[in-house]
């Protein structure tokens, strides 16, 4: 056994194979396979490795499975699968498409070699399916190696330098390709001093990583510091010709080293990062300066819309952080160059477990908009709690058609990649929903289970579904009632502190007093945020009667006795959901404990069990703090007489 306790077979010793254990490729490797076309080194290598392991063979003709670059018109990354009763054929128009087709066969498994079926075409909903890593090159004094990282160190960086052993980058690229991700940013959007130099002095490091991602058709992106030209020019004014020339030269250098480089990611004028406002310019000016440098090379700028006043006066109830992204960006619609993508967090605040969709996403019809979701569980249990996020993302992604989602990665050098082994499913699901937003989250979980635990008895899948399917709503139940968020410990954001952000400059308040709770964001009496939505939604959210219960306190300040659509009061709902949520976590732990450990591997089973203990403790703490807080404020007793501390 390796140090991590895993049987051999994963690609990296001591590291869990995630959703690509050797057995996952058996449906391919146990057969005869022929591969036709050029530029298919990765596909051929995958097939050869699978056949070597599982007794199949790579053949020139007469194969069970034919993988071919020809005769189809799928568009980039797409593929066509057909079966004539004897042969399964996967055809694509580019090598990436054929690689995705190959992993599709692994996902479908033996069923891909069953009944005949006519050609079925698979095309990604989005051409770019990107993960952003918030990895620092240097260890940051507060944020460490990975900002909001709950999975150990960075896969790329180690204390100021590129990791000596980059084997896991290749394994990671393979995992990402198998779920559909094709773009990766390898450094934190908060670009500190060392990381600023990646663009110039340390380009060789970036090129080394790009070389490892390329075989899996993943393009390298880079988070850059808007102020990078200052060191040379004393200014970063985006309308200054010298600054524009600086970006052009720097970008030429990047493409000389990495011809298929994807582009830049920028966090500007946000939480202390420099930006165009410092020069009296706006975000279109800023984004366009970088976009112009990238355009000749086919690169793009992801320009984040996460811009707000993080030094707000909590006494001022008229300012509303929820309004900020829209106010800063909506007026700029139409002014961005064609290769600018405005990257918008899915909700108007900041990755809370429950938020309405950001109104900005619908407010820029003339701009490419990417929706950003947080795969890393900053506000959803920090990979110590089970919280399968696909149902949340699905609600956003299936209803909105944008330039392509961006996920903040949850992977690190942890032996299980993601700290909590079950958080692997979030990474997998992000890729799959980026490819096909209409997928049912339960189906995606089925896929993940089938690949990760091929050939195991039904009890494995049943247990995982029981533990994971509703885990997002369970997390919501024991943490954030009715759309109120940010009742977390300031700084690290783990565990409850109802007033932790209430009297701070961060713009994240609940306004609970002895009479009621919630933020009045209506146009009639509140901050006017509802007015940023298209009329149908604006009317829905504006009305305290029609507003969906789960968003009630996000949009309205109501008395504790306010009656919800189910007939119960707000205060009783707070009590009921918190007791129910904590009970559900206890049930999750019991369910997991009943699963024989050898079915998922002893190390996997033990890590999940340990973390469920922490989740049971944490859920009880959330329940007790929230119920105690609101009981002390409201004075209303629980209708069921349960103990509130």
Q: Quick one: which of 263, 496, 507, 526 contacts its own copies (CB under 8 A)?
A: 496
Phi, psi of 452 (to 5 degrees): -75, -35
- Which residue is listed with tokens 């996000």? 554
624 touching its own copies, by CB under 8 A: yes
Looking at the Cβ atoms of 211 and 497, the one nearer to its own copies is 497
The piece of 243-251, 349-357, 471-479, 484-492 that touches its own copies (CB under 8 A) is 484-492
Looking at the Cβ atoms of 136 and 634, the one nearer to its own copies is 634
CA distance 271 to 309: 8
Does 550 qualify as catalytic in the annotation?
Answer: no
Least distance (Å) from its own copies to the CB of residue 495?
9
Least distance (Å) from its own copies to the CB of residue 179?
36
Q: How many residues bind its own copies (CB under 8 A)?
A: 26
Looking at the Cβ atoms of 260 and 502, the one nearer to its own copies is 502
CA distance 624 to 644: 7
Q: Quick one: which of 514, 535, 536, 545 contacts its own copies (CB under 8 A)?
A: 514
629 touching its own copies, by CB under 8 A: yes
Phi, psi of 544 (to 5 degrees): -65, -20
The piece of 256-264, 512-520, 536-544, 579-587 that touches its own copies (CB under 8 A) is 512-520
Instruction: Write the DSSP assignment of 116-170 as a string of letters.
Output: -EEEEEE--S-S--EEE--EEEEEETTTEEETT--SSS-SSEETTEE-S--HHHH
Catalytic residue among 11, 64, 195, 378: 378
497 touching its own copies, by CB under 8 A: yes
Cβ-contact 283, 321 below 8 angstroms:
no
Question: First vs last Cα of the chain: how many Å apart?
Answer: 47
Helix axes 570-593, 471-478, angle to 10 degrees: 130
Looking at the Cβ atoms of 21 and 500, the one nearer to its own copies is 500
Cβ-contact 22, 9 below 8 angstroms:
yes
Does 350 qualify as catalytic in the annotation?
Answer: yes
530 touching its own copies, by CB under 8 A: no
Q: Quick one: which of 151, 185, 188, 634 contacts its own copies (CB under 8 A)?
A: 634
Going through 319-466 in order, the beta strands assigned E by DSSP cover 340-345, 368-374, 406-408
508 touching its own copies, by CB under 8 A: no
Cβ-contact 184, 231 below 8 angstroms:
no
Does 271 qualify as catalytic in the annotation?
Answer: yes
Cβ-contact 389, 472 below 8 angstroms:
yes
Site string for its own copies, 94-133 (x = CB under 8 A): ----------------------------------------
Q: Quick one: which of 111, 256, 594, 628 contacts its own copies (CB under 8 A)?
A: 628
Catalytic residue among 271, 309, 443, 546: 271
Q: Quick one: which of 84, 513, 546, 590 contacts its own copies (CB under 8 A)?
A: 513
The residues that bridge with 340 in the sheet, in sequence order, are: 301
Least distance (Å) from its own copies to the CB of residue 387?
22
DSSP 420: S
CA distance 554 to 519: 6
CB atoms within 10 A of CB 22: 18
Looking at the Cβ atoms of 315 and 545, the one nearer to its own copies is 315
Looking at the Cβ atoms of 165 and 316, the one nearer to its own copies is 316
632 touching its own copies, by CB under 8 A: yes
CA distance 618 to 615: 5
Q: Quick one: which of 546, 635, 637, 642 contacts its own copies (CB under 8 A)?
A: 635
Q: Quick one: which of 118, 280, 491, 641 contacts its own copies (CB under 8 A)?
A: 491
Instruction: Write the DSSP assignment of 488-546 as a string of letters.
Output: B-TTT--SB-TTTTTTSTTS------SSEE-----TTTS--GGGGS-HHHHHHHH-TTT
Q: Extract the tokens encoding 7.
A: 């049987």
Phi, psi of 120 (to 5 degrees): -115, 130
Site string for its own copies, 330-359 (x = CB under 8 A): ------------------------------
Cβ-contact 477, 623 below 8 angstroms:
no
Element holding 205 (H helix, E strand)? helix 203-213
**428 Cβ neighbours under 8 A, 6+ residues apart:** 18, 19, 179, 444, 447, 448, 451
613 touching its own copies, by CB under 8 A: no
Looking at the Cβ atoms of 606 and 620, the one nearer to its own copies is 620
The piece of 67-75, 194-202, 440-448, 491-499 that touches its own copies (CB under 8 A) is 491-499
For the chain, how big is the Rg over CA atoms in Å? Answer: 25
Q: Quick one: which of 499, 546, 613, 614 contacts its own copies (CB under 8 A)?
A: 499
Q: Quick one: which of 24, 498, 571, 584 contacts its own copies (CB under 8 A)?
A: 498
Looking at the Cβ atoms of 277 and 511, the one nearer to its own copies is 511
Q: Extract the tokens encoding 155.
A: 């896969």
Site string for its own copies, 289-318 (x = CB under 8 A): -------------------------xx---
494 touching its own copies, by CB under 8 A: no
152 touching its own copies, by CB under 8 A: no
The piece of 155-163, 260-268, 596-604, 622-630 that touches its own copies (CB under 8 A) is 622-630
Going through 267-408 in order, the beta strands assigned E by DSSP cover 300-304, 340-345, 368-374, 406-408
Q: Which residues are catalytic, by number?
A: 271, 350, 378
Residues in contact with its own copies by CB under 8 A are 141, 314-315, 489-491, 496-500, 503, 512-515, 624-625, 628-629, 631-635, 645
């Amino acid at each position: 056994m390796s140090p991590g306790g895993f049987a051999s077979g994963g690609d990296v010793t001591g590291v869990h194979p995630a959703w690509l254990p050797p057995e996952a490729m058996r449906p391919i490797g146990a057969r005869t396979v022929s591969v036709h076309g050029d530029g298919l080194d990765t596909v051929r290598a995958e097939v050869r490795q699978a056949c070597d392991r599982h007794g199949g063979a790579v053949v020139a003709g007469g194969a069970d499975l034919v993988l071919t670059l020809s005769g189809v018109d799928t568009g980039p990354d797409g593929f066509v699968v057909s079966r004539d009763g004897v042969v399964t054929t996967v055809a694509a128009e580019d090598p990436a498409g054929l690689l995705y087709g190959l992993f599709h066969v692994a996902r479908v498994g033996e069923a891909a070699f069953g009944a005949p079926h006519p050609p079925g075409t698979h095309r990604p909903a989005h051409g770019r399916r990107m993960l952003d890593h918030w990895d620092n090159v240097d260890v940051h004094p507060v944020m460490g190696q990975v900002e909001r990282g709950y999975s150990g160190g960075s896969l790329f960086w180690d204390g100021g330098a590129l990791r000596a052993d980059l084997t896991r980058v290749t394994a990671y690229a393979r995992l990402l390709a198998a779920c559909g991700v094709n773009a990766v940013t390898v450094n934190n959007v908060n670009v500190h001093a060392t990381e600023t130099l990646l663009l110039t002095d340390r380009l060789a490091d970036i090129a080394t990583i790009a070389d490892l991602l390329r075989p899996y058709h993943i393009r390298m992106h880079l988070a850059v510091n808007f102020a990078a030209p200052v060191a040379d020019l004393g200014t970063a004014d985006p309308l200054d010709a010298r600054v524009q020339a600086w970006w052009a030269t720097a970008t030429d250098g990047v493409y000389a080293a990495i011809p298929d480089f994807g582009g830049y990611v920028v966090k500007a004028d946000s939480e202390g990062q420099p930006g165009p406002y410092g020069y009296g310019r706006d975000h279109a000016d800023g984004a366009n300066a970088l976009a112009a440098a990238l355009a000749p090379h086919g690169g793009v700028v992801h320009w984040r819309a996460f811009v707000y006043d993080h030094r707000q006066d909590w006494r001022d109830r008229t300012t509303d952080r929820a309004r900020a992204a829209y106010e800063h960006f909506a007026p700029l619609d139409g002014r961005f160059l064609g290769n600018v993508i405005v990257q918008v967090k899915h909700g108007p605040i900041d990755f809370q477990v429950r938020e309405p969709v950001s109104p900005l996403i619908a407010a820029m019809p003339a701009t490419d908009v990417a929706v950003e979701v947080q795969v890393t569980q900053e506000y959803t249990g920090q990979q110590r709690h089970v919280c399968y996020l696909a149902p949340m993302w699905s609600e956003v992604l299936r209803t909105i058609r944008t330039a392509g989602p961006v996920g903040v990665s949850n992977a690190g050098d942890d032996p299980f990649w993601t700290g909590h082994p079950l958080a692997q499913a979030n990474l997998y699901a992000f890729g799959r929903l980026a490819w096909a937003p209409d997928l049912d989250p339960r189906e995606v979980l089925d896929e993940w289970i089938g690949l990760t635990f091929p050939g195991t008895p039904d009890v494995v899948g049943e247990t995982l579904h029981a533990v994971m399917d509703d885990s997002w709503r369970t997390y919501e139940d024991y943490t954030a009632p009715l759309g109120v968020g940010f009742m977390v410990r300031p700084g690290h954001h783990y565990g409850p502190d109802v007033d932790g952000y209430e009297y701070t400059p961060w713009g994240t308040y609940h306004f609970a007093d002895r009479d009621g709770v919630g933020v009045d964001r209506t146009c009639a009496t509140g901050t006017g945020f509802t007015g940023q939505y298209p009329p149908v939604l604006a009317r829905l959210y504006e009305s305290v009667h029609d507003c969906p219960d789960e968003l009630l306190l996000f949009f309205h300040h109501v008395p504790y006795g306010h009656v919800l659509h189910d007939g119960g009061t707000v205060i009783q709902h707070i009590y009921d959901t918190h007791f129910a949520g904590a009970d559900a976590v206890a049930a999750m732990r019991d369910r997991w404990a009943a699963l024989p450990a050898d079915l998922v591997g002893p190390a996997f089973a033990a890590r999940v069990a340990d973390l469920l203990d922490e989740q049971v403790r944490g859920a009880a703490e959330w329940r007790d703090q929230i119920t105690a807080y609101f009981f002390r404020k409201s004075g209303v007793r629980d209708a069921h007489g349960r103990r509130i501390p």
